[in-house]
Structure 1
Amino acid sequence: MNLSPRKKKVADKVVILSKELIILIFVFTISLLGFLFIAYRVFYLDKTGADEKAFAFAHSLVSDRTTDIMEVITFFGSHYFMIPANVLLCIFFLVKKIGRYSIKVSAIALSSVLIMFGLKLLFNRHRPLIPLLAPAKGLSFPSGHAFMSVCFYGLLMIIIWKEEKSHPVLKWFLLILVIALLLCIGFSRIYLRVHYFTDVLAGYCIGSTWLFLSSYLIDRIQPAGLKKINNSPSMGGGKGEAA
């Protein structure tokens, strides 16, 4: 069956959308079920063996040099870094006239903060009693560092995956670098004994759940509003939006 160029283009977009939707549903389901499973084991079954083993492993690595490194790494998941990083990223996309990404960054950042605090209050788990350095404030489950890092760095990964097409080696290097940073941020919270292993794992799971769900929903509801913004004189007309 021969299709016209226009129909073929539409068909290709449908296939791409279907693949993205399947990936979204898979990641969303696995992440949500993972979070619920962790919460069930910790708060209903009172299973903490994984936390104790993680602390024992981290304790075997303790040294002054490692502690200094972990303090630097954990900074990149803190609100001291995340707030200005999100603001600067929004400004960057506004300057580049890529409105859809500036909206997505700000919407996911603000909504994830509300969800994180809501979950902490709901589960009301206290921090580990013997932090390596100074005690951390607030509640423990899920890890805010892990949750917010997945939302921020995970969004960066989505942008890199979609936009970096001309340099495959650079693309994969950046993706691997971001994944490594995410894992190191989570481990730093366990090493410093300000979070349990299950806090961090739950933060990764619920962060991934919200990132993919909110990213998908924002993509579905924002085009009409963005069209008005991009057609306004302040945005340089309809030619400013990147493909």
Structure 2
Amino acid sequence: MLRRVYKRIVAGAALFTVELIFVWLLFLVCIIGFLYIGAEILQGDKMGIDAAAFAFSKDIASPFIDQLIKFITFFASRQFLTPAALLLVAYFVFVRKHRWYSLKVPVIALGSITLNLVLKFFFDRPRPVMPLVEAAGLSFPSGHSMVAASFYGLIIYLVWRHVRPYAWRNVLAALLAIFVLLIGFSRIYLRVHYATDVLAGFSAGFLWVIIGIWALQRLERLSKKELDPVVEEETVA
């Protein structure tokens, strides 16, 4: 019996350590990646990955791929994400009744959109010429990619925390991560963003979701520490 408990504790500690290392590595990669790409854009340098990505998109282009890409990119549009976020909030408010999860959705979604607008204004990069669909505004970083990384990144976090068995959790998390990558590629294929816009959007989006989850978890712990003594005093009285 004690051996089983010991094994579970060791396995849990090992899993927590691996997850923590992964999050920190992702955090550092996103910071370094965004700063590097941002510095190159501010200097006006052209990066070979942009031309290579456009060339690859042109090579695989077809009417079927056109329709598939437009379908994929829809899932990071305002028309889809607004009702999806509202439904997710309603689920946590009325079904799961988890107040802090219901806060995470709007904080991360609205914060990501706001941060993206600020970054676009700061870098002031025009969009590529001859896009395949209409797109307004500036180019860097990609709004679709950034919002997709933050919104679906939050869903990956929720899946990782709550879906069991572990095999299903891993599969769902992997599929969501691939879907985020496809959304980013859709913006390149449609020529509304450069590859560097998309990579920077991913970096900023994942950074935001990591910071947002960490900050809200800290607030949740602090609120519980403040409320628990009050509840205990009222119970004793």
TM-score (norm 1): 0.82
- 1:106, distance to aligned residue in structure 2 (A): 1.4
1:100–1:226 CA contact under 8 A, matched in 2: no
Match of 1:125 in 2: 125
* Amino acid in the other structure paired with 2:172: L
Match of 2:232 in 1: none
Structure 1: runs of 5+ lacking an equivalent: 230-243
Match of 1:106 in 2: 106
How does 1:140-159 map onto structure 2 within 5 Å? 140-159=139-158
How does 1:29-40 map onto structure 2 within 5 Å? 29-40=28-39
1:51–1:198 CA contact under 8 A, matched in 2: yes
- 1:224, distance to aligned residue in structure 2 (A): 4.8
Match of 1:164 in 2: 163
Equivalents in 2 of 1:15, 1:98: separation in Å? 28
2:85–2:105 CA contact under 8 A, matched in 1: yes
Equivalents in 2 of 1:58, 1:18: separation in Å? 39
Worse overlay, 25-34 or 152-161: 25-34
Higher normalized helix content (fraction of residues): 2
* Counterpart check, 1:173 vs 2:171: yes
Equivalents in 1 of 2:221, 2:82: separation in Å? 26
Q: For each residue in 1:189-213, what CA deviation from the matched residue of structure 2 results, as whole angstroms up to 9, or x when unmatched?
A: 0000000000000000111111111
- 1:172, distance to aligned residue in structure 2 (A): 1.8
* Amino acid in the other structure paired with 1:194: V
Match of 1:85 in 2: 84
RMSD between aligned alpha carbons? Answer: 2.6
- 1:225, distance to aligned residue in structure 2 (A): 4.4
Q: 1:182 to 1:97 in 2, by over 3 A?
A: same
Match of 1:54 in 2: 53
Equivalents in 2 of 1:13, 1:223: separation in Å? 21
Equivalents in 2 of 1:59, 1:12: separation in Å? 48
* Amino acid in the other structure paired with 2:163: E
Q: 1:79 to 1:38 in 2, by over 3 A?
A: same
Equivalents in 1 of 2:226, 2:84: separation in Å? 27
Q: 1:87 to 1:48 in 2, by over 3 A?
A: same
- 1:16, distance to aligned residue in structure 2 (A): 7.6
Q: For each residue in 1:3-28, what CA deviation from the matched residue of structure 2 results, as whole angstroms up to 9, or x when unmatched?
A: xx9xxx9x999988766554443322
Q: 1:173 to 1:23 in 2, by over 3 A?
A: closer
Q: For each residue in 1:74-103, what CA deviation from the matched residue of structure 2 results, as whole angstroms up to 9, or x when unmatched?
A: 000111111111111011111111222111
* Amino acid in the other structure paired with 1:196: Y
1:124–1:139 CA contact under 8 A, matched in 2: yes
Structure 2: runs of 5+ lacking an equivalent: 228-237
2:128–2:194 CA contact under 8 A, matched in 1: yes
Match of 1:210 in 2: 208
2:41–2:123 CA contact under 8 A, matched in 1: no
2:197 to 186, 195, 199: 199
